[in-house]
Homo-oligomer: A and B are copies of this chain.
Amino acid sequence: MKIGELAARTGCQPVTIRYYEQAGLLPVPPRSEGNYRVYTRAHEERLLFIRNCRALDMSLEEIRQLLDYQDNPSGDCSEINALVEAHIEHVSSRIKVLQQLQDKLVALRQRCTGAEPSCSILQELTAGEPHVSQDSDSHVGHSH
């Protein structure tokens, strides 16, 4: 299987596959005579694993850990559980922050009556309120 077919099978672009190889998540595949990467079902499974994890917004580092547990099974689920638990916390704490932002944004939208000399939204944003910084220990990302 060449990279294009693997990409089509996994819903993933060839460049991304090469990137995962570079990042040490996918094992380096053998090459054909013409220097093309040649993949097997094992690669496909592993890539699907990665894509499933990415679809859950795990970081590549978290995925690296899970793959490591998979490659060196210890019969102990506790580390896997801890990782999943930690990632649930990443996601849920990000949700909380975003919900607070949403509340503030809705309140901000409310401020505009359309009848002011200068829009109240801009005035509100100019006001120097105690600004709450976003927590940076969570890795679950931004809205843009």
Residue positions of A touching B, CB distance < 8 A: 11, 45, 48-49, 51-53, 55-57, 59, 66, 69-70, 73, 75, 77, 80-81, 84-85, 87-88, 90-95, 98-99, 101-102, 104-106, 108-109, 112, 114, 116-119, 121-122, 125-129, 131-134, 138-144
Contacts and interface: CB of A to CB of B under 8 A. Distances in A.
Nearest to A67: B122
A98 B55 contact: no
27 contacts: A45-B128, A48-B126, A48-B127, A52-B126, A52-B127, A52-B131, A55-B131, A55-B132, A69-B119, A73-B118, A77-B112, A80-B112, A81-B109, A81-B121, A87-B143, A91-B98, A91-B105, A94-B143, A95-B99, A95-B102, A138-B143, A139-B142, A139-B144, A140-B141, A140-B143, A140-B144, A141-B144
